[in-house]
Amino acid sequence: MERRPGTLGFRFFKRSMDVLVSGVGLLFVSPFLLVGAILVRAGSPGPILFRQVRLGKDEKPFVIYKFRTMRVEAPSHKSPLELNDDTTVPLPRFAKFLRRSRMDELPQLWNVFRGDMSLIGPRPMQEKQFETPLYEARKNQEYDPFLVRPGLTGLAQMRMECRHDIQEKAKFDGEYVRKFSFRQDFAIFFRTIPMVIGLILRKG
């Protein structure tokens, strides 16, 4: 059996903080979740939440939740990034703001509370990406990103910003596991706050 990264104490602390912060966060953002649900329903007919199967810790599949920001008729095989560039798929007016600010991912606090995810870690891969170049690049890392829970934010998001190079992303996912520690999580958490504020205030 492959040795788990980090100390037992840190893993216990990390999970405890995930439960505490996500639980308090769900209560704190519940008014926004209600407003978001109303906007989604008013923007276009269909379900309020977007559900998708992702690969979590030890490659176990789980269902991730997001506010639906694309119309129901949007092609299901396309990613949000591809849909952003697809002028044939009309998007609800509020969709760009939710995506840009990453507020569409607030329902994932429930995934964190349940234990599917962590607040900080590698982003979860889509199940359909199994045995794709991204999956292979991850598995080729010295430190397997699937040894830890995927996160709402992580090292790759901080270092890469809007770049989507597969090899680079896999490298940062592996580096996160190699340095798996309180110090690293603390640094990522406090870099995430100004990044999200900047995304919310950004025009366009």
- Contact status, residue 21 vs residue 119, Cβ threshold 8 Å: yes
Q: What is the pLDDT of residue 39?
A: 76
CA 72 – CA 2 distance, rounded (Å): 42
Q: What is the pLDDT of residue 156?
A: 84
Q: What is the pLDDT of residue 72?
A: 59
Q: Give the residue from 92, 86, 97 showing the smallest Cα distance to 48.
A: 92
- Contact status, residue 98 vs residue 67, Cβ threshold 8 Å: yes
Distance of CA 169 to the CA centre of its chain: 14
Q: What is the pLDDT of residue 36?
A: 77
Residue with token string 């969709």: 95
Domain count for the chain, please give it. 1
Q: What is the pLDDT of residue 27?
A: 93
Domain of 80, in residue numbers: 8-201
Q: What is the pLDDT of residue 133?
A: 77
CA 141 – CA 162 distance, rounded (Å): 22
Q: What is the pLDDT of residue 161?
A: 61
Provide φ and ψ at 126, rounded to 5°: -70, 145
In a domain, 1, yes or no: no
In a domain, 3, yes or no: no
CA 107 – CA 122 distance, rounded (Å): 18
pTM of the model: 0.81
CA 144 – CA 186 distance, rounded (Å): 21
Q: What is the pLDDT of residue 131?
A: 66
In a domain, 2, yes or no: no
- Provide the residue-wise pLDDT of the chain in tens; the chain has 204 residues: 456 788 889 999 999 999 999 999 999 988 888 887 887 777 666 778 888 899 999 999 999 998 877 765 554 545 544 444 444 444 556 666 777 677 788 899 999 999 999 999 998 888 776 667 778 888 888 888 899 999 999 888 787 665 567 888 888 899 999 999 999 999 998 888 777 777 667 655
Q: What is the pLDDT of residue 81?
A: 45
Kindly give the pairing relationship between strand 118-120 and strand 151-153.
parallel
Q: DSSP letter at 150?
A: -
Indicate the average pLDDT of the chain: 80
In a domain, 98, yes or no: yes
CA 187 – CA 194 distance, rounded (Å): 12
